[in-house]
Amino acid sequence: MANRVLVTGGAGFIGSHVADRFVAEGWDVTILDDLSSGREENIPAAARFVRGDITTPEAAALVRDGKFDVMCHLAAQIDVRRSVLDPVYDATRNILGTLNLMEAVKASGHVTRTIFSSTGGALYGDFDPPPSAETLSKDPEAPYGIAKLSVEYYLAYYGRVHGLDTVALRYGNVYGPRQDPHGEAGVVAIFCNRVLDGRALTVFGDGRQTRDYVYAGDVAGANFAAATRDLPPRGRLDARAFNIGTGIETSVNTLAETLRDVSGATAPIDYAPARAGELARSALNTAKAREVLAWQPTVSLADGLKRTYEFFAVRRARVNA
């Protein structure tokens, strides 16, 4: 019998890539998603789809009774700006929703490993120079990052007190096909659509601010590695946490110029006033993931941007046909 995985948020941008990878590896895949931001068209044909909200008793019952071997938990409120405007909503989705599922995992007696999608740049803040290692101090600026860090503390608690097998993957700025313009790396989707519209690329500030852009397919590979590799013992907060990125700082200027190169576009770059509270620099030290998970990114920025741009171009052509 095939191993069984539940992917929460599996109709979303990153979650659907994770679901694709497990399907490709021959796993039995179930997706739980409320479609508040995900799209049903993203769901692999081979996966079972359950429409539901992670904060509900029904979602808890699915986890408790579904006999899943692994849960990849990606369902979340993903907009940093919304977390600032409505931190109560953010905490309800990202903290209480996760606790609802974790209590179900505890009651199930079956789920052998839970993999939580956390965040890299939003967790470490802007106080130490990158690349950030997992053990660096955590200084999130927004409720979104605070909620992700809170969940990591809860996962450590469930590991120590209840013996649950938990992992946190701290993503860099994930981009790729199916991306929407929300979340930390939404700039890639925004830029692709602006190129297709023949509009200028808007860069806030001087464009020198850096991020660690990691391709969605590589992130999916990290989830599969985290589900299948032997891991270090449970213990302190960072023991089961892994940075998932490239370790490369890429400026917004470089991002825009690379996209223009791979798309063949001549879109101008317009500069707008810097946005308050934006990190100046961000990149992740991924040595631990390479050593323990035997994982490393395989898709270069130029190749990833080309694949992403082509996805949006094909989707635009299909809509306009």
189 domain residue, yes or no? yes
Say what the pLDDT of residue 129 is. Answer: 87
Residue type at 72? Answer: C
C-alpha to C-alpha distance for 231 and 185, rounded to whole angstroms: 29
Let me know whether 90 and 208 are in one domain.
no
C-alpha to C-alpha distance for 148 and 206, rounded to whole angstroms: 29
Host domain of residue 103 = 4-174+214-244
- For this structure, is 271 an active site residue? no
pLDDT at 261 over 90: yes
Residues β-bridged to residue 203: 271
Let me know whether 110 and 15 are in one domain.
yes
Nearest Cα to Cα of residue 28 among 60, 68, 83, 80: 68
Model confidence at 180, pLDDT cuts 50, 70, 90, reads confident
Q: Which long-range contacts (CB under 8 A, 24 or more apart) does 314-320 make?
A: 316/196
Token pair of 118 as six digits: 């956390």
Q: Which of 144, 158, 213, 309 is labelled catalytic?
A: 144
Q: Domain with 197 in it: what CATH number?
A: 3.90.25.10
Q: What digits encode the pLDDT tens for the residues 53-62?
A: 999 999 999 9
Say what the pLDDT of residue 124 is. Answer: 87
294 domain residue, yes or no? no
Secondary structure E strands in 52-195: 70-73, 113-119, 166-171, 173-175
Say what the pLDDT of residue 67 is. Answer: 96
Model confidence at 308, pLDDT cuts 50, 70, 90, reads very high
Model confidence at 183, pLDDT cuts 50, 70, 90, reads low
Say what the pLDDT of residue 87 is. Answer: 94
pLDDT at 41 over 90: yes
Say what the pLDDT of residue 250 is. Answer: 97
pLDDT at 184 over 60: no
293 domain residue, yes or no? no
Buried/exposed 152-185: b ≥16 CB within 10 Å, e otherwise: bebbbebbeeeebbbbbbbbbbbbbbbbeebbbb
Average pLDDT estimate for 101-118: 95
Q: How many domains does the chain have?
A: 2
pLDDT at 245 over 90: yes
Q: Specify the range with the lowest mean pLDDT, choosing from 132-136, 144-148, 178-182.
A: 178-182
